Amino acid sequence: MPASSVLTRRAVVAGIAATPAASAVAQPAAWPSRGVRLLVGYPAGGANDFVVRSVTGQLGEALGQAVVVENRTGAAGGIAAEAVAKSAPDGYTLVSLSSAHVLAPSVRRNVPFDPVRDFTPIALLARSPYFLMVHPSLPAQNVAEFVALVKAKPGEIAYASSGVGAGPHLTSSLFMTVAGIRLEHVPYRGDADALIDLVAGRVPSAFLSVAPAVPHIRSGALRALAVSGAERLAIMPDIPTVAESGYPGFAMDAWWGIAGPAGLPAQVVTRVADAVRPILESPALAQRFSAAGVVPSKLFGAEAFAALIRSDRQRFDDIVKAAGIEPQD
């Protein structure tokens, strides 16, 4: 065979091998190549929605594609979570995963998702603690006086919560355990209803969300004794934490983050997590969050978020069992 023919044949073979069709592994398209949906399981205007929408505008700019928030409500956030858990792990359908989702299997039967197994954690966005508050008719100026008062009248002083199995209920249950006290539980259908009776003095104490409580504290209608989180809040820096008030290590709050379905590609996780961090570190976001009693997350990275989910899943189970809370249908 002539040398020129051999060279030509080799060139053709080399050209075929270099084409994408002959590649052993197809190269995925760059992500994202279109808009991303981020499902929120709660109504617009709530804390979960507020946190997510405060971040998604800048997140979309960083990703080069729109991040569209879709409020898919129902089943205490479960409808949105289940939809994402069952979606394709391509990065185009994400969910705002919250502490309420991680708590759900501890307090509800037949939850249609597993918060540890069915999701890929990406980034924790924010946390928000609760205020321990009392009606002014209760003669307690701080946590120590409140505990002493309750111990002197075991079972006679009640506390409100935003519902059986909700974050404030578990926070109150944990506090009673560590303080060695017993309060009578009066559950309501949300913070708003609980606050009405707390302000009216029909129930004397409660752990409830910060934002709706602040106006009542400032007016003197309620007295805040402590913050349930690990640090004081910029919106009311004079109110100590429960930990500072004699119970070291006490920390309970609500949190919100971004997750995708199980099996999400590492490139998607890294891309979103890296884009979120500078947003959370910006002073403008801290100021916006502060007015709502929300704290930008200082826990960065998908692995750290995953560790929080696993830890809280076990912790919530332990609190529920210790308090004797019966799971609801």
Using 50, 70 and 90 to split pLDDT, how confident is the model at 291?
A: confident
Largest Cα span, the chain? 107
Residue that wins the pLDDT comparison between 289 and 329: 289
pLDDT single digits (tens) 293-310: 999 999 999 999 999 999
Stretch 74-98: mean pLDDT:
96
Stretch 242-247: mean pLDDT:
98
Using 50, 70 and 90 to split pLDDT, how confident is the model at 29?
A: low
**Pairing relation of β-strands 205-209 and 119-134?**
antiparallel
Quick one: pLDDT at residue 18? 44
- pLDDT reading at 277 higher than 60: yes
List domains and CATH numbers for the chain. 36-128+253-323 (3.40.190.150), 130-227 (3.40.190.10)
Side-chain half-sphere exposure of 61, counting CA atoms within 13 A: 6
Quick one: pLDDT at residue 155? 85
Q: CA 181 to CA 151: how far, in whole Å? A: 6
Q: H or E segment at 38?
A: strand 36-40
Q: CA 24 to CA 17: how far, in whole Å? A: 10
- pLDDT reading at 96 higher than 70: yes
Stretch 81-105: mean pLDDT:
97
Q: Which two tokens stand for residue 296?
A: 């930008």
- pLDDT reading at 106 higher than 50: yes
